[in-house]
Chains A and B, each alone.
Chain A
Amino acid sequence: MGTLKKLELAVGIFVALGLAAFFMLAMKVSNIADLGEDKGYKITARFENIGGLKVRAPVTMGGVRIGRVVGIDLDTRSYEAVVTLSIEPKYDRLPADSSASILTSGVLGEQYVGLEPGGMDEYLKNGGSLKLTQSALVLEKLIGRMLTNAASGDQPPAKTP
């Protein structure tokens, strides 16, 4: 009887340890808050070039994460990239003329969408779209532009939009 009890106790401790390990993996190691993510409202932004932006990339305003990229598509009529952003519901007072740009965190970091607030009194709503966008910096194009500038002698660098 005594040994059986000890054995059952040991098995109980084992199972509890295993469940505790999964609890730690769920709570401490992974981002469990991500599960209830998709409650945000969706807005779209059109970019000429999104560079290496990926789905699930963060959307920030003033450096604070306010949402995520949930979809990337190509408009086959205008050949622009259509990026769908999901913004958390508590940030529902973003001016309608806010602008979006694709930025890189750090030198080798991932790309994210940074929003700059505009000045309008109207706010972005579900299904809205951002009119002012700035594409990602593509390194090859940048270098190409620098080379053409250098090749064209000592003229001041041409202003490019």
Chain B
Amino acid sequence: MIEGLQRLGRATLFWFNRLGRATLFLLRLLGALAALGKRPGLIVKQLYSVGVLSLPIIAMSGLFVGMVLGLQGYANLVDFGATSSLGTVVALSLVRELGPVLAALLYAARAGSALTAEIGLMKVTEQLAAMQMMAVDPFARVFAPRFVAGVIAMPLLAGIFTAIGILGGYFVAVQQLGVDSGAFWSQMQAAVRLVDDVINGVVVKSAVFGWIANWIAVFEGYDAIPTSEGISLATTRTVVNTALVVLALDFVLTAIFFGA
């Protein structure tokens, strides 16, 4: 009994300890941003590895999600003779929820895990310590560029995901199922609002998710136990924690933006 309570206490303290370290890490990261302005090339390089290399999976997933939405929406709406609202269904579900959330989950799996593994391996092979020996700040040289590139890439990826998804829905609905093309787009335009849906949905949500996903990924790498097992643990934690936090935060953001 006492031991169980003690274990609970230890777990809680450990958890808060990690949260505190992660917050301190983020503050140091933000402090290193100024130094980054002198070397924007570092960001471009990371933008390539987290952004450009994530494009294929984001584009393919967006296409298939949009096509599935088109099929399912049609199958349900056709009973009510309301297939002209299919554009609204596809666009609103992608813009408000699926675009930013799925893009963030795919990003965590594709780019976040890679970031953690890369930084973790740098730690194991003592590259980070070596940098410090040479008076090179790993925050400015390694962590900040990856973080900033990820935060920039995330909204762009979510936007691409959403746009391709809507095109996929259009393809299935109009080309395959025979929904009227004019109704598809005009009903969509009548229902989707620029600020309330597109800006709040895609842009704000994915910016928040990008911040979270990259913070977790870089911190887990930095905080990894420097063994091969530690890296594998840290990589798993990146994906699991990002997925949990993104889904929970999505609920909060949805309640704020669309709850009323």
Contacts and interface: CB of A to CB of B under 8 A. Distances in A.
Interface of A: 7-8, 10-11, 13-15, 17-22, 24-26, 28-32, 34-35, 108
Contact of A22 (B55, B153, B159): B159
Contacts of A10: 48, 52
A88 to B, nearest CB: 16
A28 B197 CA distance: 13
Given A7-B48, A11-B51, A30 B197 contact: yes
Interface stretch (B14-22, B132-140, B187-195): B187-195
A113 to B, nearest CB: 16
Interface in B142-191: 153, 155-157, 159-160, 162-164, 166, 185, 188-190
B202 interface: yes
B44 A11 contact: yes
Contact of A34 (B159, B188, B194): B194
A31 B92 CA distance: 13
Given A21-B159, A29-B188, A31-B192, A14 B44 contact: no
Contacts, number: 84
Interface residues of B, number: 33
A42 to B, nearest CB: 21
A29 B189 contact: yes
B190 A25 contact: no
B156 A14 contact: yes
A8 B194 CA distance: 31
Contacts of A24: 163, 166
Interface of B: 44-45, 47-48, 51-52, 55, 80, 82, 91, 95, 153, 155-157, 159-160, 162-164, 166, 185, 188-190, 192-195, 197-198, 202-203
Query: Which residue among B153, B166, B189, B197 has the maximum number of chain A CB atoms within 10 Å of its CB?
Result: B189
B155 A18 contact: yes
A108 B79 CA distance: 13
A33 to B, nearest CB: 9
Contacts of B160: 17-18, 21
A106 B178 CA distance: 21
Given A21-B156, A29-B192, A34-B194, A14 B51 contact: yes
Contacts of A108: 80, 82
A14 B190 CA distance: 30
| Overall SS of chain B's interface | helix
Contacts of A32: 194
Nearest to B162: A25
Contacts of B194: 26, 30-32, 34-35
Contacts of A11: 44, 47-48, 51-52
Given A29-B198, A35-B195, 15 more contacts: A14-B156, A18-B156, A18-B160, A21-B162, A22-B202, A22-B203, A24-B163, A25-B202, A29-B166, A29-B192, A30-B197, A30-B198, A31-B192, A31-B193, A34-B194
10 contacts: A7-B44, A8-B44, A15-B47, A18-B159, A18-B160, A21-B159, A22-B159, A25-B198, A29-B198, A30-B198
Contacts of A28: 185, 189
B52 A25 contact: no
User: Which of A13, A30, A34 gathers most chain B CB within 10 Å?
Assistant: A30
Nearest to B152: A15
B203 to A, nearest CB: 8
B82 A18 contact: no
Contact of A25 (B45, B47, B163): B163
A21 B210 CA distance: 17
Nearest to B157: A18
